[in-house]
């Protein structure tokens, strides 16, 4: 098998990259170790920056987004039993949209299939070699048959547990990692959302977040011990804690309903630097992980592949390598800005284990400053809707 760009991973980064390359007349093959059903149904992020939605529409995969996406022009900070609104669009001229990652993946798979794209699921034994040379080779088992794929470049879009990150990290990159002392318990509930905009809550018991997925499905989170068994959180306890942490004195009422999915996820930061070595380029979670508080993970992946697709186009259409050579530097400026913003949001809203009360008082002071100072509110809003360093 021969292709120009071999892509490992059929998440949003790999699928969108393949689609963007197709629009530029560049061949690609996508290899994914999971099943198509798993990829389309796994619960992931759902908040899209305007830059992300603009790119999806430009690429011709925005029909579902326009039909089902929920535009948010603000968000709410809840503390001292009071809701405080940050008017994102008023402050920045931009907005965010709730549209689940599963739906983004569904739309991209449909687009690649309609275009005759080569996307293979349940691929085993993938190895990458020759990235130091001009002709990398991927070897894999596809539909029970051993296949060798010759290519010009490899794009590692296979997430934090994939093979491509290790291929670069083995002596060719430095990694930066920080694990927070708490996790997020996330649930999906079959109940109409109790809010029309996301609510970020700071409480003595810990952080809580009320998000949404559709007019009928709510997405909510609780700060918990990262090692706590999910069995310790029966549905009644989850709703009781959400009622407590999201409780206000200004009329907010939290709706409850059947919980259809729940899991506990660690909160951490991770960056591989550089994001490229030889003819291998990392994108999305393969290169960086951010705390979910700032809603940056999926948006960073989209930003990565936008840069990478344009760099490949510059190579194939004009024979220029400058954009490919500068891929890491271009992406990492945005990645580190997102890391800093996510850390700031996380440290402002989560109760820290072992805090004697001093840090909590400072967090409350910071929250009050954000909602009282137009400059502080604008800084939060600018980062939240998607800041792109020059």
The domain spanning residue 15 has which CATH number?
3.50.50.60
**Nearest to 78, CA basis, from 361, 349, 385, 375:** 349
Q: Identify whether 84 is part of a domain.
A: no
Based on the domain organization, do 102 and 246 belong to the same domain?
no
Based on the domain organization, do 156 and 125 belong to the same domain?
yes
Q: Which of 19, 22, 72, 350 is labelled catalytic?
A: 72
Based on the domain organization, do 41 and 147 belong to the same domain?
yes
What tokens were used for 340?
């800093």
Q: Identify whether 22 is part of a domain.
A: yes
Based on the domain organization, do 295 and 219 belong to the same domain?
no
Bin 9: left if φ > 0, else alpha if -120 < ψ < 50, else beta.
left
Q: Is 292 a catalytic residue?
A: yes
How many domains does one find in the chain?
2
Q: Which of 180, 200, 277, 316 is labelled catalytic?
A: 200
Q: Identify whether 211 is part of a domain.
A: yes
How would you class 144 by CB atoms within 10 Å of its CB: exposed for 0-12, middle for 13-18, buried for 19 or more?
exposed
**Any idea what DSSP says for residue 351?**
P
- Residue 31: beta bridge partners? 8, 120
Q: Identify whether 89 is part of a domain.
A: no
Q: Identify whether 49 is part of a domain.
A: yes
Q: Which of 221, 277, 316, 384 is labelled catalytic?
A: 384
pLDDT at 390: 67
Based on the domain organization, do 15 and 156 belong to the same domain?
yes
HSE of 90, CA atoms in CB hemisphere, 13 A: 8
Based on the domain organization, do 172 and 60 belong to the same domain?
yes
What percent of the chain is predicted at pLDDT more than 70? Answer: 99
Of the listed ranges 52-56, 356-360, 364-368, the one predicted with least confidence: 356-360
Q: Which of 136, 193, 291, 292 is labelled catalytic?
A: 292
**Any idea what DSSP says for residue 139?**
E
Based on the domain organization, do 259 and 294 belong to the same domain?
no
Q: Identify whether 337 is part of a domain.
A: yes
**Nearest to 363, CA basis, from 198, 200, 202, 223:** 202
Based on the domain organization, do 147 and 53 belong to the same domain?
yes
Q: Which of 296, 316, 327, 350 is labelled catalytic?
A: 296
The 10s digit of each residue's pLDDT in 29-76 is: 999 999 999 998 887 778 999 999 999 999 999 999 999 999 999 999
pLDDT at 167: 85
Give the range of the structural domain holding residue 233, as residue numbers without chain letter.
180-267+353-386
Q: Identify whether 87 is part of a domain.
A: no
Based on the domain organization, do 157 and 213 belong to the same domain?
no
Q: Identify whether 286 is part of a domain.
A: yes
pLDDT at 41: 85
The C-alpha atoms of residue 344 and residue 339 are separated, in whole angstroms, by: 9
CB 308 within 8 A of CB 283: yes
* Mean pLDDT over each residue of the chain, to the nearest integer: 95
pLDDT at 160: 87
The C-alpha atoms of residue 241 and residue 252 are separated, in whole angstroms, by: 15
């Amino acid at each position: 098998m021969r292709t120009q760009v071999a892509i490992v991973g059929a998440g949003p980064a790999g699928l969108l990259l393949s689609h963007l390359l197709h629009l530029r007349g560049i061949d690609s093959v996508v290899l994914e170790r999971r099943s198509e059903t798993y990829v389309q149904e796994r619960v992931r992020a759902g908040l899209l920056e305007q830059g992300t939605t603009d790119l999806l529409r430009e690429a011709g995969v925005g029909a579902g987004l326009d039909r089902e996406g929920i535009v948010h022009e603000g968000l709410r900070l809840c503390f001292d039993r009071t809701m405080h609104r940050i008017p994102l669009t008023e402050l920045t001229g931009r907005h965010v949209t709730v549209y689940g990652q599963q739906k983004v993946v569904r739309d991209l798979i449909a687009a690649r299939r309609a275009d005759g794209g080569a996307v293979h699921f349940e691929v085993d034994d993938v190895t990458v070699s020759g990235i130091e040379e001009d002709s990398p080779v991927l070897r894999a088992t596809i539909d029970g048959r051993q296949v060798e794929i010759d290519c010009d470049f490899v794009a590692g879009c296979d997430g934090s547990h994939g093979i491509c990150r290790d291929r670069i990290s083995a002596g060719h990159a430095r990694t930066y990692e920080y694990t927070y002392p708490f996790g997020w318990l996330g649930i999906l509930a079959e109940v109409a959302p109790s809010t029309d905009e996301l609510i970020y809550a700071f409480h003595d018991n810990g952080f809580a977040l009320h998000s949404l997925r559709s007019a009928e499905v709510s997405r909510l989170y609780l700060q918990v011990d990262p090692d706590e068994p999910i069995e310790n959180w029966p549905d009644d306890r989850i709703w009781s804690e959400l009622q407590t942490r999201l409780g206000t004195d200004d009329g907010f009422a939290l709706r409850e309903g059947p919980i259809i999915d729940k899991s506990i996820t660690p909160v951490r930061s991770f960056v591989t630097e550089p994001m490229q070595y030889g003819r291998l380029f990392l994108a999305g979670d393969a290169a960086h992980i951010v705390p979910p508080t700032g809603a940056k993970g999926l948006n960073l992946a989209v930003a990565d592949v936008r840069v990478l697709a344009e760099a490949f186009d510059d190579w194939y259409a004009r024979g220029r390598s400058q954009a490919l050579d500068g891929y890491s530097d271009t992406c990492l400026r945005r990645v580190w800005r997102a890391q800093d913003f996510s850390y700031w949001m996380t440290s402002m809203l989560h109760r820290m284990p072992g805090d004697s009360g001093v840090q909590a008082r400072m967090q409350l002071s910071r929250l009050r400053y954000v909602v009282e100072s137009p400059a502080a509110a604008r800084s939060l809003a600018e980062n939240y809707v998607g800041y792109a360093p020059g």
